[in-house]
Structures are given as structure tokens and as C-alpha cells.
Amino acid sequence: MIRIEEYRSDVENQWCPGCPNFGILAAIKRALAALDLPPHRVCLVSGIGQAAKLPHYLKCNLFNGLHGRAVPVATAIRLAHPGLTTIVTSGDGCVYGEGGNHLLHAFRRNPDITVVVHDNRIYALTKGQGAPTTRRGVKTRLQFDGVSSDHAQMLATAVAHDCPFVARGFAGDLDGLTEILREAIAHRGLSLVDVIQPCITWGPHSVDWYRERIAPLPADYDPADRTAAIESALENGTPLPTGVLYRREDRPTFEETARARFGDRPLAELPPIDRSLIDQRIAAMRSGGSD
Amino acid sequence: MIDLSIVISGAAGEGIQTIGDVIVRCVLAHGYAVFSTQEYESRIRGGHSSYWLRVTETPRNAPRSNADVLLALNGRAAEHYAPLVDGRGWTLRPSGGGARIVPITYRKLAEDAGSALYANSVAAGALCAVIGIPFAILEPVLRRAFVRHGEAIADANVRAARAGFEQAHERLGDRAAAELPARDARYVRAGTHNAIPLAAAAAGCRFMSAYPMSPSTGIITALARDPELGVLVEQAEDEIAALQMALGASAAGVRAMTATSGGGFALMVEGLSLAGMIETPVIIVLAQRPGPATGLPTRTAQEDLLFAIHAGHGEFVRAVFAPSDPQSAADLTVRAFDLADRYQIPVIILTDQLLADAQFSLERFSIPEASIERRFADPESIDAYRRFERTETGVSPRLYFGQSEHLICLDSDEHTENGHITEDLAGVRRPMVEKRLAKSRALRAEIAAPEHDRIEDAEIVLIGWGSTQRAIREAVDEFRKAGRAIGRIHFTELWPLPELDAPGVQCVTVEGNATGQLARLLRAELGWSIDRTISRFDGLPIDAQTIVGGLE
């Protein structure tokens, strides 16, 4: 079995002391250990922001790319290498804002990756501007009179697109989040986990404020019920339910379809194509072009 | 010497491409070389579009801008394209009369053969009669084109073509527009955007993602249509994702590419810079069209040379190639994949609408035996792996995700040799910048010198790049015939520019842009003195006449 210590990275952590991101980091390590995934079988992909630095703080393969672009990168890595557990860890500004279009199309493709969104409802690294998740009216360091747009409803959008695993977690609940992430990573197909991660520096609310406004889904909740899932996913009031909001097992994955001709081997390890295939096509050009 | 320019014109959707393709096959089967290009509007139906064929005994592979024979499928096309036909040219059109007008009742003859749908075959038959191609050449070509729709359809098309052929003969009487005696020569028909995907597959490319954009779309289409070539293709949601996916695949050890035009490349620029930072190989085909912005989506230009060379924030090493024909595209594509791996850099291949749509006749065509030696490091021989280990050459040992138990860390931030984020300015930033840029030294030494042609005694040197090579060569031939000492230099490998001495005579660049981008590059990088530029930027290809006229 893999021990949690094996994911320990010696890169100096740049997060604020006490940041709930530490809770997400700990939960990811625990989930990976619970799934017995060694670091070299894991690839973390992130964009830009404080959340996007997470891959450096966990010993594994990492692609810390550009703002908003983690999802297409992760999609291609997983497509190219079926043996890599591929997880996006980035903030709400990165995944829902700058990268919103990629996420929308990931819902359609259904790659077998997990997208963990650190949802702090604020742009923290750029010092306190509104995020797509910031509520209308919240005063920020740029929207001085309050945000004038409504917040994005990305979890409900995910359910609407039949994203096969949609969950909401809370960074202040290590056990609950670990379990959600373990299930998300193990789930076949795209898993979206929105993690409420209060920013202790730029707000708008404290960890305790959120703790009072979330509630685990009831024991008899049926995650296969899509209508109920849309209801639970919409963020219109409190309490916000946490747990697996929506789940289905039978949607074909992107890899199953796109890789059908290529078998289970990593694309990088396929032998060169037969040269005669090239020569046949050149021969057709000699007779005036292929039909 | 035969040099016959044929323009087939009609509205989008009328099937001029089908006719053009049939005639190209007939001409090749008859032993001639043919260079075909297309000109069309950015719309699905209606408007004007045309298919140009230039028939010669030996390959010329350069466009002409007038027509010896105009085939118009409708009256509007006949009027629109009439200025292309000079006093000695012939026009086939649905109605009308005149000394060199051959009216062909396409629709009626097609209906007599069974359906108005066969009008294109009527037109092909009539055109063969006018240019002197025997029906015995046309018939098997037509059968091959239609046999997949069944024998009955193939027969009907042959009947329609025969009716067109006979009507044209009858109406020509004893006049003959062109004589094409049968020849034994057989040429290879090749297109640049067919050569690139084939060469990519031969080079071991296994992944291509792209967003459809004229004139680049044919490349991913060719790979999607031919799954045996073994390239996994994905239509991305935008060009940003297209390049990001290619980089993700490349980081997982796969030879990967994308293709786009200027506007899509603009979206890719952040990803290009990322490729530079994470030293991950990728091939980007940039098929140029006139800009700025949406510009002329279906026309040709050479406006993105400096953009390709300078695109991307920050400083990093790249290579930029501009093939001049299908063979050089095949050679440069294979080379691009090899150089991208060896230097761990992005490589940009510039084509344009002319190259995208033109079909060349070549004496021979081959895909070089590709170097698919991937040059990954041996994981067994490495103790503590550092993806960005500093080396003399700047090239670090490369492993890919999932290759072994060694961990690969790629970071768009400035990073340590281990690939981790850092703000150690003195200890890391400086040496890492120097490491990345060090790669250009050896790369520059590998860049091929431009082609030199007849410059020993030249008083004026015409300098071009990319798709204009044949047109400039033809112009130089004409100048030489007229006794003028003119030579040419042609670039297909444009960045990094190799050290080159100036020709020392009057230099004139020939470019499909308004501002003389190659001239500016040669002045800035090599200190060459460029006297002037012959420009064409109306969306149409540069032909020899443009150059000859431009120099006078």
C-alpha cells in the first residue's frame, strides 16, 4: 500500500498559513493513498492561481500550464496514456472563468479525468477581484459598488450536460472531502468536484461562515436522479448540500471512443506505422490522385 | 510549346471542383503536366468560384492570371470571368454566340442523358473536345469517378459527357481551340496539404487536434479520412484548446501537431509561448490567408511571416519553415518533427491558400525515410531525474509522463531544473533563460541555406519565400530569355536565419504582402540591403506576370 508520506513534496509552500487549500491538498493525498496509486501513475494538471500551485506540493507528475487551460491539457494526457490517473486542480477563476469553454466541451467529451475546483468565490492571487462565482452585490477590490453580475451555476451546468460525476465538497471537512475525491478519481469518466474553499485573506466569508451554511446530502439522496441533482447543484440559497450530487456509470468515455483503434497502449509506445501504407498513397498520387 | 490556361467557373455548389478534378486526371493520363488552383468565395452556395488548370508539357507549377479557355456553367459566371479571356481565348457557356464562343446546352443534354445532375459531365465532355483531349481518355476517368455510385449512374454520366463532347465538336466545326497530341510522360499529382499529413504520419505523428479554419482544414481532414495512417485526431473547441491538447499529448511522449490560419494562430500564441517555456515539441501548420482579422478567408497571402517568427510573449527558441511545393512540404514536415524533438521546441510550418488548394504535377514525389528516433533519455540510466537539467547545448534529457517511475514536472512559471516554481532570480532565472536560448546556436547551424539560382552573373536578385518559388523561377526564365541578368534566392527555412552574405547586387523581394516582411527580416537580421519589394496583396497568387510587370 502507498503511504501518504510518499506524496510528500519538498517544494516550499507559498499558500497563506491556515489556507483551506491545505485541506484540499491533504484530502487529495489521502484519496490517492486510499486508491493505492503510486506518484508516477498520477499526473496533476493545473492552470494559474494559488490553487494551481497545488501540484508542486504533492509528489507526482505535473503539468502546471496556463490560466484556464488545464482541462484540454489533461484531456490529451489521459487520451495519450491510459495508465495515468489525471487530475486537474485549479481555482474557480481558472476552470470556470478563463477556461469555461473548455469545461463545457469536456462535459460533452467525457474524458476520464477528475477536475477539482478550488472554489473560493474570489480572485485571490490578483488581490481580491470578483470571480465567476462571486455573488451579486459583493463588494470587491475592483467591483467597489458590488458585483453586478449573477454567479455562474457550473455544477448545475455539469448536470445539465450529463457530466457523469458531479460533487460539492468543503475544504473544512477533510474526511468528507477525501471520500468524495476517492470516489471521483475512481469514477470512470469526467468527475467534477467543486470544493468550497474560503479565502481567509480576501474573503468574502470565513471558514466558519460556510460551515454553518453547508449540509451533507441526506442519506436517502439518490444521485441517479437528474432532476434532484440539478436542484442540489443550483446555488440559490442555503444550506448548500455537500456530497455526490449526480452520478451515472454508463456514459461512454472520450477515450473509449477516440482510442478504439489504438488499444490500451500509450500512444507514445505504439510501433511506427508500416511504411508500405505511405508508399501505397504515393503510388495513388502517381495515377492522378486517390479516388 | 504548349501552355494552356483553362478556367472552369460557376457558382459555389455547381460542381466545378468535380469537373476540374476529372479534367486534371484526363490531362495527366494524356501525358501532360497540370497545375490546378482554386478561387472561391467564403460561402456554401452561389457567388462565383473558379477552378484553374494550367496545362504544360513539362511541369511549371505556377499560376497564370489569364484564360485561354473559359468554361462557364452559367451566364453570370461567363460575364464575371470574361475579362480573363483575351482575343484569342475560347469561351464555353450555356448560350450566346460570337467568334470564339461555343454555346453548350449543359442542362438539356444532361436531361436527355437522364438527369440535370449530369450537367457537369456534359461540361467535362465539351471541355475535352475544345482542348483536344480524345473521348477515349475521358471515358475511363469518368467511369472511375462515378463507379462507386453504381454502373447505371456511371453509364449515364458517360452518355452525358459524350453528348457534351459531340455538341462542342459540332459547334466548333473546323475550328480547333487547342491541340494536345498524346504524350508518354506521366507525372505525380501532389498537393501540399496532402503531403503534410502523409509526411506527418510517416514521421510518427500520432495526435492532431485542430479547429476548422480555411485554408488549413484539409490537413486534419486527410488524417481523419485515412485512419490507417494511425493518427488520432480531435476537433478542438477552439484553437487555444487545439494547441493545448497537442502539448498535453506531446508531454505524454506523442509526436503531435495542429494546423490553423492566422486568426487561429493568434489564439494559439499563449500556447506557443508555453511550448517554449516547458520545452515541449509541437508542430503548428499556419496556413496563411489575407488579414487583418477575418480578412479574405478563402484567398491567399504571405502576411504572417513576421507574426510566426515573433509570436509569443517572452523569449524562446523556435523554427519557422515555409515550404514551396508538396515535395518541400514533405521534406520540411519530416524535418520539423525531428528538429522539434531534438531541440524540444515548437516548429511552425507556413503554407497559404495557394499551397492548400493547388495540385502540382511533379516528376517525382517521395516522403523521406523519416527519423522517428525520439531521443528520449534512458530512464534506467538516470538516478535523480531533472527534466530541465542544465547542459552545454541547452537540451535536457527528456522523459515523458508515465514512461517510467521518474516524475516529470512541467511548469509555465519560471522553474528549477526539477520543473518546480521558483522566484530565485539570480540562482535560477538567469541560467534557465540562458539554457533555453542556448539551443538556438546549434539549431541555427542546422538551418539550410536558401536556394540560389543563376546569381553568379545576376545584376538583380529576386528574393522570395514559400509558395512563390515556381512563379519567381518562371519570371527569371522569362527575363533570361529576354537577355536580362536576373537571378533568384528562395527561402524555405526562415528561422532562425543562418549567417548569409548579402548578394552584393540589387535585391528585390517578391512577397504576398504589402509591407515587405522578408525584406524587413533580411535587413534586421542579416543587415542586407533590400532595394525594393514586388508585392501582391489582392488575395490572388503571385504569378510570373506580376513579377515581370513589377520589375519594369
Please tell me if residue A247 touches chain B, with a CB cutoff of 8 Å: no
For position A286, what pLDDT does the model report?
81
The pLDDT of residue B212 is above 60 = yes
Single out the residue in B362, B396, B428 at which a domain terminates: B362
Question: Which of A12, A69, A85, A269 is best to mutate for the B interface (most B CBs within 10 A)?
Answer: A69
pLDDT above 70 coverage of chain B, percent: 100
B145 plus B246 within the same structural domain: no
Name the minimum distance, in Å, from the CA of B484 to any CA of chain A. Answer: 37
The pLDDT of residue B323 is above 80 = yes
Q: Which of B188, B207, B234 faces A267 most closely, judged by CB atoms?
A: B207
B469 plus B400 within the same structural domain: no
The pLDDT of residue B372 is above 80 = no
Domain extent listing, chain A: 4-263
Closest CA to B319 of B221, B443, B453, B173: B443
Residue A273: band (very low, low, confident or very high) from pLDDT cuts 50, 70, 90:
very high
Dist CA B316 CA B282 (whole Å): 14
Contacts of A105 in chain B (CB under 8 A): 237, 241
In a domain, B181, yes or no: no
Q: How many helices (H) and strands (E) does chain B have?
A: 17, 21
Contact B237 A277 (CB under 8 A): no
In a domain, B271, yes or no: yes
For residue A107, give the chain B residue with the closest CA.
Answer: B237
Please tell me if residue B387 touches chain A, with a CB cutoff of 8 Å: no
Task: Read off the C-alpha cell for A285.
Answer: 498520387
For position A288, what pLDDT does the model report?
66
Name the minimum distance, in Å, from the CA of B271 to any CA of chain A. Answer: 8
Task: Indicate whether this complex's ipTM tops 0.90.
Answer: yes
Name the minimum distance, in Å, from the CA of A215 to any CA of chain B. Answer: 36
For position A289, what pLDDT does the model report?
57
Contacts of B420 in chain A (CB under 8 A): 11, 56
B113 plus B206 within the same structural domain: no
B27 plus B105 within the same structural domain: yes
Mean pLDDT of B349-361: 98
The pLDDT of residue B47 is above 90 = no
Architecture of domain A4-263: 3-Layer(aba) Sandwich (3.40)
Residue A268: band (very low, low, confident or very high) from pLDDT cuts 50, 70, 90:
very high
How do residues B74-95 score in pLDDT, each as one tens digit? 999 999 999 999 888 999 999 9
Q: The domain spanning residue B30 has which CATH number?
A: 3.40.920.10
Q: The domain spanning residue B253 has which CATH number?
A: 3.40.50.970
Question: Which of B27, B245, B273 is best to mutate for the A interface (most A CBs within 10 A)?
Answer: B245
For all residues of chain A together, what is the average pLDDT?
95
Contacts of B251 in chain A (CB under 8 A): 63, 73, 77
For position A182, what pLDDT does the model report?
98
Give the 3-state secondary structure of A134-167: CCCCCCCCCCCCCCCCCCCCHHHHHHHCCCCEEE
DSSP SS3 for B265: helix
B441 plus B353 within the same structural domain: no
How do residues B160-201 score in pLDDT, each as one tens digit? 999 999 999 999 887 777 889 999 999 999 999 999 999 999
In a domain, B374, yes or no: no
User: Exposed/middle/buried for A198, CB within 10 Å: 0-12, 13-18, 19+?
Assistant: buried
Domain count for chain B, please give it. 4
Other Cβ atoms within 10 Å of B3 Cβ, number: 11
- The size of the A-B interface in CB pairs under 8 A is 197
DSSP label at residue B338: H
For residue B25, give the chain A residue with the closest CA.
Answer: A288
Name the residue range of residue B540's domain: 451-551
How do residues A194-240 score in pLDDT, each as one tens digit? 999 999 998 888 999 999 999 999 999 999 999 999 999 999 887 89
User: Exposed/middle/buried for A284, CB within 10 Å: 0-12, 13-18, 19+?
Assistant: middle
Name the minimum distance, in Å, from the CA of B361 to any CA of chain A. Answer: 9
For position B46, what pLDDT does the model report?
77
Buried-state track B399-432, b at ≥16 Cβ within 10 A, e below 16: bbbbbbebbbbbbbbbbbbbbbbbeeeeebeeeb
The pLDDT of residue A138 is above 50 = yes
Mean pLDDT of B273-301: 97
Contacts of A84 in chain B (CB under 8 A): 252, 401-402
pLDDT above 90 coverage of chain B, percent: 92
B352 plus B432 within the same structural domain: no
Contacts of B246 in chain A (CB under 8 A): 76
Please tell me if residue A75 touches chain B, with a CB cutoff of 8 Å: yes
The pLDDT of residue B320 is above 90 = yes
- Pairing outcome for strands A61-64 and A42-46: parallel
How do residues B396-445 score in pLDDT, each as one tens digit? 999 999 999 999 999 999 999 999 998 889 899 999 999 999 999 999 99
In a domain, B260, yes or no: yes
Residue window 222-251, chain B: list those with CB within 8 Å of chain A.
226-230, 232, 234, 236-238, 240-241, 244-249, 251
B159 plus B61 within the same structural domain: yes
B485 plus B542 within the same structural domain: yes
Q: How many helices (H) and strands (E) does chain A have?
A: 10, 8
Cis geometry, peptide bond prior to residue B140 (ω within 30 degrees of 0)? no
Contact A285 B230 (CB under 8 A): no
Contacts of B237 in chain A (CB under 8 A): 72, 101-102, 104-105
Dist CA B361 CA B183 (whole Å): 15
Q: Which of B198, B237, B271 faces A281 most closely, judged by CB atoms?
A: B198
Contacts of A99 in chain B (CB under 8 A): none
Q: Which ranges of B256-325 does DSSP label H, i.e. alpha helix?
A: 262-278, 305-310
For position B373, what pLDDT does the model report?
79
B202 plus B139 within the same structural domain: no
Report which secondary-structure segment, H or E, holds B152. helix B151-172
B152 plus B90 within the same structural domain: yes
Name the minimum distance, in Å, from the CA of B244 to any CA of chain A. Answer: 5
Q: Which of A39, A62, A76 faces B410 most closely, judged by CB atoms?
A: A62
Dist CA B249 CA B461 (whole Å): 44
Please tell me if residue B202 touches chain A, with a CB cutoff of 8 Å: yes
Q: Dihedrals φ, ψ of B425, to 5°? A: -70, -45
Q: The domain spanning residue B528 has which CATH number?
A: 3.40.50.920
In a domain, B437, yes or no: yes
Please tell me if residue B120 touches chain A, with a CB cutoff of 8 Å: no
The pLDDT of residue B491 is above 60 = yes
Please tell me if residue A260 touches chain B, with a CB cutoff of 8 Å: no
How do residues B170-180 score in pLDDT, each as one tens digit? 998 877 778 89
SS3 content of chain B, % helix, strand, coil (to 5): 40, 20, 35
For position A291, what pLDDT does the model report?
46
Alpha-carbon dihedral sign for residues B227, B231, B236, B239: negative
For residue B370, give the chain A residue with the closest CA.
Answer: A275
Dist CA A41 CA B132 (whole Å): 67
Mean pLDDT of B224-228: 97
For position B238, what pLDDT does the model report?
98
In a domain, B369, yes or no: no
Identity of residue B68: D
Alpha-carbon dihedral sign for residues A114, A115, A120, A124: positive
Single out the residue in B312, B335, B362 at which a domain terminates: B362
Dist CA A20 CA B110 (whole Å): 76
Hunting for cell 504569378 — which residue is that? B543
Contacts of B372 in chain A (CB under 8 A): 272
Contacts of A275 in chain B (CB under 8 A): 202, 369
Other Cβ atoms within 10 Å of B144 Cβ, number: 15
Mean pLDDT of B3-19: 92
Cis geometry, peptide bond prior to residue A17 (ω within 30 degrees of 0)? no
Single out the residue in B137, B172, B207 at which a domain terminates: B172
Residue B374: band (very low, low, confident or very high) from pLDDT cuts 50, 70, 90:
confident
B46 plus B148 within the same structural domain: yes
Dist CA A102 CA A75 (whole Å): 10
Please tell me if residue B277 touches chain A, with a CB cutoff of 8 Å: no
Alpha-carbon dihedral sign for residues B5, B10, B11, B15: negative
